A and B are shown apart, each in its own frame.
Chain A
Amino acid sequence: MTDPTNPLVMTDSVSLASRLLLQVSDLRVQFATDDGVVKAVDGVSFSLERGRTLGIVGESGSGKSVTSMAIMGLHSGKNTTITGQIRLDGEDLVSASRERVRALRGAKMAMIFQDPLTSLHPYYSVGHQIMEAYRVHNKVTKQVARKRAVDMLGRVGIPNPAVRVDDYPHQFSGGMRQRAMIAMALSCDPGLLIADEPTTALDVTVQAQILDLIVDLQDEFGSAVIIITHDLGVVAEISDQILVMYAGRAVEGGPATGVFGQPGHPYAWGLLGSMPRLDIDRVDRLKPIPGTPPSLINVPSGCPFHPRCGYRDEVGGDRCATEVPLLREIAPAHVAACHLTSDQQRSTWARLSEPVSDLPETKAGSLLASSDPANEVQS
């Protein structure tokens, strides 16, 4: 069962409530600009249990990063309005004082960013920056903090950490810089780690190493992870839950196996269709989603995806352009916001994944080639 006002919060188990680390409900982030109000995030709800991984996917401008910055309390402009609730360990961050959120930042929730070169200060040594992060939240001497920095660098796989701790960011390679960022983020042992496109700026060979590292450290530290990306391959590998965002709204969400195996929203079909795959012998080209993401000032009426959607006729009439589809359960704990009926969704997805002779289920299974046990528990 799901809570109707918050479809992604599973309430079917009492013990689950205590395991919930993060609960976001009806989050709205708006920026007042000269051209009008930008509704960057428009009523998003989701939740995350301790130690689990949530993947947020979507195109540029879909509100993924704005959501994560809102959780971290990093929207500071006076033109920004944030409403809704962000509960971290039961404590609401939206209504909390700035000083309180600052104290939580880095201690209970930490974040790593897309470009590790520009995200590290060029004038301070890597060790200094980790020590700084540790000492804001822990009253310890420099020697203790330094030992922590060396220890953390070692744990993220920096060779010879006792020496490299005094190196400056420009003396590190791209992958090592991201490792150092991870070391810094995890130095205070936060319950929540947000990784905003952590591998986008890295070489393909290094990407896999960084993802493995995040997964390993997640097991070691027991942190929950939100991974934000437009790379479906990344989330497919490590996520338990998936949230698909479009135009500042959640359009589909559920267990990773469900969302990848039996997606219900045409936008999710588009995302999957535009991803290269090795498991099927494709003769035709990748199918990009036609059109561009909508303006967040004038979001299309009805379903925000309708101008780009090829299935409006199957819904019939102009329902897609007039009526906003609500998130609706299409499989256990799996929701999608689309007017297509569940039968239509199933048959269309079956047709879309035609070129393979296998059944859609097995094909979807093979998509999650390196699925970890957590995924299987959920499916």
Chain B
Amino acid sequence: MITFIIRRLITAVFLLLVVSVITFAIFFLIPRLAGQNANELAAQYVGRNPTPAAIQQMVERLGLDQPLPVQYWHFLKGLVAGENYSAGPSVTYCPPPCFGYSFRSQLAVWPQMVSALPVTVSLALGAAILWLLGGVSIGVLSALRRGSIFDRFSMGVALAGVSLPIFFTGLISLELFSYKWPLFPNVQYVNIAVNPLLWARNLVLPWVTLAFLYAALYARLTRAGMLETMNEDYIRTARAKGLRERSVVVKHGLRAALTPILTIFGMDLGLLLGGAILTESTFSLPGLGQFTVLAIQNQDFPEIMGVVMLAAFFIVIANMLVDILYAAIDPRVRIS
């Protein structure tokens, strides 16, 4: 088991390296292949109508005139160990993980992402708990009462949940529960350390909206998985042993049906931690998703790169955790 975890850790690091190469290539190799020279690239960093001197200074500061492998090395070094940016006499140290400076605000990218992260984490984790509990239990009940009114109703709602986009359900919920019946008025992000109660209250609508989409998906997946596992021979064996139906369903059925769901859960959560763009935009939550939208609108390459790397990091880590959890659940995985 330990060697398995170590192997997965090494794979994760390697994957992140590959991601960094691809990200770097997209932002520095492709423009060059497209015929952009160092000056044109640097011009994007200095704002409108830049003077040639300012461009030249930026080229030197970012090392854009150097060969690409050297640039990548500096990029990677910045991520791992931090980087000194020299602009004439003044030297700025950018501590690790260094994603460089925003085009617009000239602020370092990493601290900006760090301040946006708690919002996204609050949103994603809260919603994840809701949809996992809700989706799985509805799915199990639906599978056990296949064809019943409960099954048909919940699967109908689930179909709606999967089909309706966040910006629709989100706006409807805001209209109904924030304006018409102000149960949750004035939805805005409050730091959990400042006021935990207000933090939770203001996140209820975003949580429910986001969880509704995923719970619908998970209910359908769980239902399908349970219907399949409850037909397995080992379920018949469990019944033949005289186990109570409850332990047959939970210990033998659900445990096997949950494994594929766990995989998808890891991916979904990893993806959301990189920014729940639609939900954050709908509810004006200043998380990574909104940070990303702004970065793209402004064509702020360092910020976009930072977000891409961070999102990739979350997905890789989530996948690694899922793999390790998988091995803990399914003994057959540990062998290979």
Which A residues are within 8 Å of any B CB, using their own CB? 72, 74, 76, 102-107, 110-111, 113, 115, 118-123, 125, 132-133, 136-137, 168, 170, 181, 184-185
- The minimal Cβ–Cβ distance linking A265 to chain B, given in whole angstroms, is 31
Please report the C-alpha to C-alpha distance between residue A185 and residue B240 in the assembled complex, in whole angstroms: 9
Contact A119 B241 (CB under 8 A): no
Contact B236 A122 (CB under 8 A): no
Which B residues are within 8 Å of any A CB, using their own CB? 232-234, 236-245, 252, 255-256, 329-332, 335
Q: Specify which chain A residues have a CB less than 8 angstroms from the CB of B236 in the assembled complex.
A: 74, 113, 119
Please report the C-alpha to C-alpha distance between residue A110 and residue B243 in the assembled complex, in whole angstroms: 12
Contact A106 B331 (CB under 8 A): no
Q: Which 10 A-B pairs have the closest CB atoms?
A: A106-B242, A105-B242, A118-B233, A133-B241, A106-B241, A121-B234, A168-B331, A119-B233, A111-B240, A119-B237
Residue of A nearest to B240 (CB): A111
Contact B243 A122 (CB under 8 A): no
Query: Which residue of A72, A119, A122, A136 contacts B332 across the interface (Cβ within 8 Å)?
Result: A122
Contact A105 B241 (CB under 8 A): yes
Please report the C-alpha to C-alpha distance between residue A118 and residue B235 in the assembled complex, in whole angstroms: 9
Query: Which residue of B238, B239, B240 contacts A121 across the interface (Cβ within 8 Å)?
Result: B238
Q: Specify which chain A residues have a CB less than 8 angstroms from the CB of B255 in the assembled complex.
A: 123
Contact B331 A118 (CB under 8 A): no
Please report the C-alpha to C-alpha distance between residue A89 and residue B296 in the assembled complex, in whole angstroms: 77
- The minimal Cβ–Cβ distance linking B251 to chain A, given in whole angstroms, is 8
Please report the C-alpha to C-alpha distance between residue A120 and residue B237 in the assembled complex, in whole angstroms: 7
Contact B233 A123 (CB under 8 A): no
Residue of A nearest to B232 (CB): A118
Q: Specify which chain B residues have a CB less than 8 angstroms from the CB of A105 in the assembled complex.
A: 239-242
6 A-B pairs in the complex with CB atoms less than 8 angstroms apart: A106-B241, A107-B242, A111-B240, A119-B236, A136-B241, A184-B237
Contact A118 B241 (CB under 8 A): no
Q: Specify which chain A residues have a CB less than 8 angstroms from the CB of B241 in the assembled complex.
A: 105-106, 110, 132-133, 136, 184
Q: Say whether chain B's binding surface is mostly helix, strand, loop, or mixed.
A: helix
Contact A102 B242 (CB under 8 A): yes
Q: Specify which chain B residues have a CB less than 8 angstroms from the CB of A115 in the assembled complex.
A: 233
Contact A123 B330 (CB under 8 A): yes
Residue of B nearest to A184 (CB): B241
Query: Which residue of B233, B243, B256, B335 contacts A136 across the interface (Cβ within 8 Å)?
Result: B243
Contact B256 A122 (CB under 8 A): yes
Query: Which residue of B239, B243, B256 contacts A123 across the interface (Cβ within 8 Å)?
Result: B256
Please report the C-alpha to C-alpha distance between residue A102 and residue B244 in the assembled complex, in whole angstroms: 7
Contact A168 B232 (CB under 8 A): no
Q: Specify which chain A residues have a CB less than 8 angstroms from the CB of B252 in the assembled complex.
A: 121
Residue of B nearest to A76 (CB): B239
Q: Specify which chain B residues have a CB less than 8 angstroms from the CB of A185 in the assembled complex.
A: 240
Q: Specify which chain A residues have a CB less than 8 angstroms from the CB of B331 in the assembled complex.
A: 122-123, 125, 168, 170
Contact B238 A122 (CB under 8 A): no
Q: Specify which chain B residues have a CB less than 8 angstroms from the CB of A122 in the assembled complex.
A: 234, 256, 330-332
Please report the C-alpha to C-alpha distance between residue A122 and residue B242 in the assembled complex, in whole angstroms: 19
Q: Specify which chain A residues have a CB less than 8 angstroms from the CB of B234 in the assembled complex.
A: 118-122
Q: Specify which chain B residues have a CB less than 8 angstroms from the CB of A136 in the assembled complex.
A: 241-244
Given contacts A106-B242, A136-B242, 9 further A-B contacts (CB under 8 A): A102-B245, A105-B241, A105-B242, A106-B240, A106-B241, A118-B233, A121-B237, A122-B234, A136-B241
Contact B332 A168 (CB under 8 A): yes
- The minimal Cβ–Cβ distance linking B67 to chain A, given in whole angstroms, is 53
Residue of B nearest to A194 (CB): B240
- The minimal Cβ–Cβ distance linking B241 to chain A, given in whole angstroms, is 4
- The minimal Cβ–Cβ distance linking A154 to chain B, given in whole angstroms, is 20
Residue of B nearest to A104 (CB): B242
- The minimal Cβ–Cβ distance linking B237 to chain A, given in whole angstroms, is 5
Q: Specify which chain B residues have a CB less than 8 angstroms from the CB of A118 in the assembled complex.
A: 232-234
Contact A137 B242 (CB under 8 A): yes
- The minimal Cβ–Cβ distance linking A120 to chain B, given in whole angstroms, is 6
Residue of A nearest to B229 (CB): A121
Contact A110 B240 (CB under 8 A): yes
Q: Specify which chain B residues have a CB less than 8 angstroms from the CB of A106 in the assembled complex.
A: 240-243
- The minimal Cβ–Cβ distance linking B229 to chain A, given in whole angstroms, is 10
Residue of A nearest to B238 (CB): A121
Query: Which residue of B233, B239, B243, B329 contacts A132 across the interface (Cβ within 8 Å)?
Result: B243
Please report the C-alpha to C-alpha distance between residue A170 and residue B330 in the assembled complex, in whole angstroms: 11
Please report the C-alpha to C-alpha distance between residue A137 and residue B240 in the assembled complex, in whole angstroms: 12
- The minimal Cβ–Cβ distance linking B313 to chain A, given in whole angstroms, is 31
Contact A170 B232 (CB under 8 A): no
Q: Specify which chain B residues have a CB less than 8 angstroms from the CB of A120 in the assembled complex.
A: 234, 237
Please report the C-alpha to C-alpha distance between residue A123 and residue B255 in the assembled complex, in whole angstroms: 8
Q: Specify which chain A residues have a CB less than 8 angstroms from the CB of B329 in the assembled complex.
A: 123
- The minimal Cβ–Cβ distance linking A139 to chain B, given in whole angstroms, is 14
Q: Specify which chain B residues have a CB less than 8 angstroms from the CB of A74 in the assembled complex.
A: 236, 239-240
- The minimal Cβ–Cβ distance linking B227 to chain A, given in whole angstroms, is 13
Please report the C-alpha to C-alpha distance between residue A106 and residue B241 in the assembled complex, in whole angstroms: 4
